[in-house]
Chain A
Amino acid sequence: MKNRLFVLCLTGWLSLAGRALAETPPVVAIKNARIVTVSGPVIAKGTVVIRNGLIEAVGDSVQEPADAWVINGEGLTVYPGLIDALSTWGLPGAQSQTASPSGRRGFVPEDPAPAPTPAPPGRPTTLTTPSAPPARGPEDRPYNTSFLLAADQLDPADRRLESARGAGFTGAVCFPNRGIFAGQGAVINLAGQRAGSMVVQSPAGLYLTLRGGGSFGGGFPGSLMGVIAYIRQIYLDADHYQKAKELYAASPLGNKRPDYDKTLEGVLAAPRVLMPAQDPKEIARMLRFAGELKLKAVLYGVHEGYRAADILSKYDAAVLVNLRWPEKSRDADPEAEDSFRMLELRDKAPSTPAALAKAGVKFAFYLGGLDRSSDIARSVRRSLDAGLPQAAAVRALTLGPAEIFGVADRLGSIEKGKIANLIVTSGELFQEKTEVKYVFVDGVKFEPSPEAPPALTEVSR
């Protein structure tokens, strides 16, 4: 009993320690540390100065300012804070992420999502009644919530943020993830007083899935070909919509005004589109499709990318690789035999990043629902073992996503003037013994508790 009380007290204290130290001074200097800048060469021993949430200076001959709170970085390494390139952190209402055993999906719904069919124009939208009749065609705009902004849905109290920081993550690109046109993502920092202060860039892109109504009663589209045809129709409609609006804006007199369509507004506002693809066939199909629709495409999933590096480099595509490698489900039928194809995929998927790096394909990692710090490190190590250079792995979690989402001028590396998102570790990232000592988000210091609390696990399983 006494022991349990002690443990309770201890965990309470630890989780307190994990929270923000609100009284972080505006100026911090980490000196005599190894600095992995990512954008430039590694500084064997140098100093980083943070002032008012930005990096003021970095280098081997930088002097710490007199007003700085100094951290002795002897034996420690400073990295840019890690970024999860496709996430739902900060969006408590999003569906949990799990890896699909078939590798077909990026995110998987735990239960069939209600069809978020916006009411047809002219009828009042009833947000509270999800029992809209099943869609009959693209004109009903089924599974289209492209107008949803992740930035509008952020909750700084999401308990997952804390353990994400504990794992060394300071940023993420978060997306609503229900439906086919799920919504607009936002590049966010994983801490902030208010939701608004977390947002770095919004919108960051439109998240597409190929998840229709399934088969019976889900309405249109209920098949893969239906989903593809639907996406094509939406882009044609969006194009027409834009032209009609421009024409009308030029001369409203004597012309009928085009109906306002929020589902198309969202589509038009997207600076890029995230599209799912796992194997070479799907990758080639999506790249052709994106070319046809004149979209700036970012492919996600890509577990079979080890066989598709040539296509990807030919199309100069950007890729988000799911770090949750395909594995046999713990809840699999013990007598079920896996196909050779599945076994090969499980074996070779972690070699995808190495193949992409070798072919010069721009890529970033996303966690695909991995939540424990040790699991993330183990996943990255598997790709290191398959030939990915350490520097490329770090880049795929820092500058890589920043470049793909157009925020490389603010995030992703340790450079003067960038946002002060840093982590200080006891050694090389992703190694088993390495601990994250300090995390800075917007210059605010966090000290993670020794092993991340299991809060994340509870929420997202």
Chain B
Amino acid sequence: MRALSLFWLAAALSAGADDTFLIRGAVIHPVSGPSIENASLLVQDGKIADIGLKIVVAKGIKVIEGKGLHVYPGMIDSATEVGMSEIGSVRETADVSELGDFKPQLRAAIAVNPSSEHIPVIRANGITAAMALPGGGVIAGQASLMYLDGWTWEEMTMRRDAAMVLSFPAINTFSFSFTEGVVRGSYTDAKRNYDRRMKQLREYFESARRYQKAKAAGGPGFKTDLALEAMLPVLEGKVPLMVSAVRERAIRDALAWAEKERVRIVLTGVRKPGNTLADLKAKNIPVICGPTQALPMEEDDSYDAAFSLPAELHRAGVKFAFGSFGNQFSRNLPYQAATAVAFGLPYEEALKSVTLYPAQIWGVDQIMGSIDKGKSADLMITDGDPLEVKTQLKRLFIRGREVDLESRHTKLYKKYLARP
């Protein structure tokens, strides 16, 4: 009797639960395949249970009428400071970087504030997950893939160690001063500095390898080291290194280094890849594109250098995803992709590079990135193309749970609308 009533209770909960519902009669854009007109989508327990023209469901299940609306998978921002920094210039609210050069044991997830005012703002544009990147030093720590919904950082965390962030040494002869502008300095000094930092990096990886061997050998003398422990998944190829490299030389160096160290890398911050594209393709190295809405790096660069870089990567067959490398401006992620479309990137590729491709790059494409059976129900319902600025986001679901679209922006909007 008691068991029976519990069963009924569970059933009732399930039927009325937030994360079980049916979207009916909408245009569904799975991204992984062609769009389906006038289709239905069943979400059960936060997962996508079925997609089809006609889905029969039990009575009592919540139904969302999707007539005239579009369903897309939620977008993924591949590089942000979301939740780690509230106001950049107020030190107390910024928890992005730690002191020291090598700190692989740091995890960005822990620093993410679930109550950050930026999160609702970003979500309101259809972004459901973001990589939170730690900064500072050579190895900054672990980047964490976060759902943009949850009461605690633990709840938000999708993958704590989605990548290890490495600021790759580069020979930089530029310096800037307010009275002189950009000044070029000594190459010899820059090279010496670079050599020193490369040596440090090599030595660090060597010590991580020695630690790996010592751990495998076991024995009474073995002492656990948190930092080197965190390097093990990197050495084993389970976690990719997110390597920043802007120009051709740095990219070449990073590729050669990664090959030598036998580690998996994802390039970030690429601006002037030069002749390295074929290599990137051949070695199957993905790239996280920074904001396309950016100025050219040097005065003689073409005005559209940043706008057309994604199309260039696409033509070369390099896999890439977009990252905002920012905080509140993460909300512009769809428009960064859209700008690339205006400069030669096929539309489907642009959409994939904010949904399916990041999921693949971060190794979570079994779980998110497209509308497919079994994946997490990270969905947005819109009145049109999400890369289009005019498009309105109607509803947003993360892991099947509907998310409030109210944000600081809408609150301010309402406040000033009501001004007498």
Co-assembled chains A and B: yes
**Which residues of A are at the interface with B, using a C-beta cutoff of 8 A?**
100-102, 104-105, 210-212, 214-215, 222-224, 227, 329, 331-337, 339-341
B300, A339: Cβ atoms closer than 8 Å: yes
Q: Which residue of A lies closest to B299 (CB)?
A: A339
Complex: A105 Cα to B180 Cα, angstroms: 8
Give Cα A334–Cα B179 distance, bound, in whole angstroms: 26
Chain A's closest residue to B249 (CB) is A335
28 contacts between A and B (CB under 8 A): A100-B183, A101-B183, A101-B184, A102-B181, A102-B184, A104-B180, A105-B180, A210-B179, A211-B179, A214-B177, A215-B178, A222-B179, A223-B178, A224-B178, A224-B179, A227-B179, A329-B187, A331-B186, A332-B173, A333-B171, A333-B173, A333-B187, A336-B173, A337-B298, A339-B298, A339-B299, A339-B300, A340-B300
Flag B363-380 by CB within 8 Å of A: 1 or 0 each. Answer: 000000000000000000
Contact A223 B181 (CB under 8 A): no
A37 to B57, CA, bound (A): 109
Given contacts A223-B178, A223-B179, is CB(A333)–CB(B184) below 8 Å?
Answer: yes
Considering the chains assembled together, what is the distance between the CA atoms of A334 and B186 in angstroms?
11
Q: Which of B177, B184, B300 contacts A332 (CB 8 A)?
A: B184
Closest partner residue, chain A, to B272 (CB atom): A337
* Cβ–Cβ < 8 Å partners of B179 in chain A: 210-212, 214, 222-224, 227
Q: Is B182 an interface residue (CB 8 A)?
A: yes
Chain A residue contacts of B173, Cβ below 8 A: 332-333, 336
**How far apart are B295's CB and chain A's nearest CB, in angstroms?**
14
State the Cβ distance, B109 to closest chain A Cβ, in Å. 33
A290 to chain B, nearest CB (A): 19
- The 8 A CB mask of B171-196 against A (1 = contact, 0 = none) is 10100011111111011101000000
Main secondary structure of the interface of B (DSSP, over half): mixed
CB-CB under 8 A from A340, the residues of chain B are: 300
Q: Tell whether, in the assembled complex, residue B299 and residue A341 are in contact, meaning their CB atoms are under 8 Å apart.
A: yes
Contacts of A329 in B (CB 8 A): 184, 186-187
Q: Is the CB of B299 within 8 A of A336?
A: no
Q: Whole-angstrom distance from the CB of B201 to the nearest CB of chain A? A: 21
Is A336's CB under 8 angstroms from B300's CB? no
Q: Would you list which residues of chain B between 290 and 348 have a CB under 8 Å from chain A?
A: 298-300
Question: What interface size band does chain B fall in?
Answer: 20 to 34
Closest residue of chain A to B177, judged by CB?
Answer: A214
Give the CA-CA distance A215 to B171 in the complex, in Å.
Answer: 23
In Å, the complex CA distance between A329 and B173 comes to 12
Q: Which of B148-202 contact A (CB under 8 A)?
A: 171, 173, 177-184, 186-188, 190
Closest Cβ–Cβ distance, residue A64 to chain B (whole Å): 56
Taking a contact as CB atoms closer than 8 A, the residue among B180, B187, B298 that contacts A102 in the complex is B180
Q: Are B180 and A215 in contact (CB under 8 A)?
A: no
Q: Nearest A residue to B274 by beta-carbon distance?
A: A335
Q: Which residues of B contact A332 (CB under 8 A)?
A: 173, 184, 187
* Alpha-carbon distance A100/B181, docked complex (angstroms): 12
A334–B299 touching, CB < 8 Å: no
Q: A84 → chain B, closest Cβ, in Å?
A: 25
Complex Cα distance A146/B187, Å? 36
Contacts of B177 in A (CB 8 A): 214-215
Q: In the bound complex, how far is the Cα of B187 from the Cα of A335, in angstroms?
A: 10
Q: How far is the CA of A339 from the CA of B298 in the complex (A)?
A: 8
**How far, in angstroms, from A288 to B225 measured CA to CA in the complex?**
66
Contacts of B300 in A (CB 8 A): 337, 339-340
Q: A341 — which chain B residues lie within 8 A by C-beta?
A: 299
> With the chains together, A340 CA to B177 CA distance in Å?
22
Q: A337-B298, A339-B299 are in contact. List 18 more A-B contacts (CB 8 A).
A: A100-B180, A100-B183, A101-B183, A102-B180, A102-B184, A214-B177, A214-B178, A214-B179, A222-B179, A224-B178, A329-B184, A331-B188, A332-B184, A333-B173, A333-B184, A335-B248, A335-B249, A336-B184
Complex Cα distance A224/B178, Å? 7
Choose among B173, B177, B247 the residue with the greatest number of A CB atoms under 10 Å from its CB. B177
Whole-angstrom CA separation of A210 from B178 in the bound complex: 11
Residue in B closest to A102 when the chains form the complex, CB atoms: B183
Are B187 and A104 within 8 A (Cβ)? no
Taken together as a complex, chains A and B put the C-alpha atoms of A335 and B190 apart, in Å, by 13
Q: How far is the CA of A222 from the CA of B180 in the complex (A)?
A: 11
Instruction: List chain B residues, Cβ under 8 A from A222.
Output: 178-179
Q: Which of A102, A223, A227, A331 has the most CB of B within 10 A?
A: A331
Give the complex CA separation of A104 and B181 in angstroms.
Answer: 9
Chain A min CB distance to B56 (Å):
65
**Chain B residues within an 8 Å CB radius of A334:** 187
- Cα A102 to Cα B300 in complex, Å, equals 16
B161 to chain A, nearest CB (A): 35
Bound CA–CA A341/B182 (angstroms): 14
Nearest 4 A/B pairs, CB to CB: A223-B178, A331-B186, A333-B187, A333-B173
Q: Given A337-B300, A339-B299, decide whether A331 and B187 contact each other with a Cβ distance below 8 A.
A: yes
Residue of B nearest to A227 (CB): B179
- Distance between B207 CB and nearest chain A CB, rounded to angstroms: 31
A393 to B83, CA, bound (A): 66
B178 contacts across to A, CB distance below 8 A? 212, 214-215, 222-224
CB-nearest residue of chain B to A222 = B178
A279 to B300, CA, bound (A): 19
Nearest CB of A to B111, in Å: 27
**CA of A224 to CA of B179 in the docked complex: distance in angstroms?**
5
Q: How far apart are the CA atoms of A214 and B183 in the complex, in Å?
A: 12
In the docked arrangement, what's the CA distance between A382 and B249, Å?
A: 35
Inside 8 A of B247's CB, which chain A residues have their CB? Answer: 335
Most chain A CB neighbours (cut-off 10 Å) among B177, B179, B188: B179
- Name the B residues within 8 Å of A227 (CB-CB): 179
- Residue among B171, B178, B186, B300 with the most chain A CB within 10 A? B178
| B179 to A: closest C-beta gap in Å | 5
Q: How many Å lie between the Cα of A223 and that of B176 in the bound state?
A: 12
Task: Tell me the complex Cα distance, A335–B298, Å.
Answer: 14
Bound state CA distance, A334 and B191, in angstroms? 11
User: Given the complex of chains A and B, what is the CA–CA distance between A335 and B194 in angstroms?
Assistant: 15
Q: How far is the CA of A100 from the CA of B185 in the complex (A)?
A: 10
Closest B residue to A101 by CB, please name it: B184
Residue in chain B with minimal CB distance to A340:
B300
Chain A: minimal CB distance from B299 (Å): 5
A341→B181 CA distance, assembly (Å): 15
Tell me the minimal C-beta distance from A213 to chain B in angstroms: 9
Measured in the bound complex, the distance between the Cα atoms of B298 and A51 in whole Å is: 61
In the complex, which residues of chain B have a beta carbon less than 8 angstroms from the beta carbon of A331? Answer: 186-188
| Nearest Cβ on chain A to B32's Cβ, whole angstroms | 41
Instruction: Specify which chain B residues have a CB less than 8 angstroms from the CB of A104 in the assembled complex.
Output: 180-181
Task: Give the residues in chain A near B186, CB-CB below 8 Å.
Answer: 329, 331
Rounded to whole Å, the gap between the CB of A32 and the closest CB of chain B is 52
Contact with A along B265-300 (1 / 0, CB 8 A): 000000000000000000000000000000000111
Shortest Cβ distance from residue A143 to the other chain B in the assembled complex, whole angstroms: 11
Q: How far is the CA of A211 from the CA of B299 in the complex (A)?
A: 24
Residue of A nearest to B176 (CB): A215
